[in-house]
Amino acid sequence: AVVSTQSTGGYSSSAEYYSEISLTNCLKDIDVYTVCINADDDPCFPGNMYPLELIQYNRFTSLISTRAGGHYGFAGLGWPFKTLTFSDQLVVEITKMIRSQLPDSR
């Protein structure tokens, strides 16, 4: 996939491609709550590629990292037939948690 994207996107190498699309380019500017979910064994974006210092620096960003899950591991059992994936459920729970911590806006 990288070779195909690299060549059709006009990049000279995989390193150039990943440098251009890296989260490092935008993490410092995020100003809405953002949760990054990643598996350390993701063959396309392993955990050691995450710019942890930038995620820790920005109060609006956080990282949930698991040891396993691969690239599509968060789709959930039965995907694509189930409409609610593990990632969807996780986002709902995180949103509930954040909302419970906000001052009552009524």
Calculate the dihedral angle through the C-alpha atoms of 39, 75, 92, 26, rounding to the nearest 10 degrees: 50
- Residue 1 — pLDDT band, cuts 50, 70, 90? very low
Secondary structure (3-state) at 105: coil
Name the burial class of residue 92, with classes exposed (0-12), middle (13-18) and buried (19+) by CB atoms within 10 angstroms of its CB. Answer: exposed
Q: What are phi and psi of 80, to 5 degrees?
A: -95, 15
pTM of the full structure: 0.60
Calculate mean pLDDT across residues 68-74: 70
Q: Decide if pLDDT at 106 tops 70.
A: no
Count, in order, helices (H) and strands (E) of the chain. Answer: 4, 2
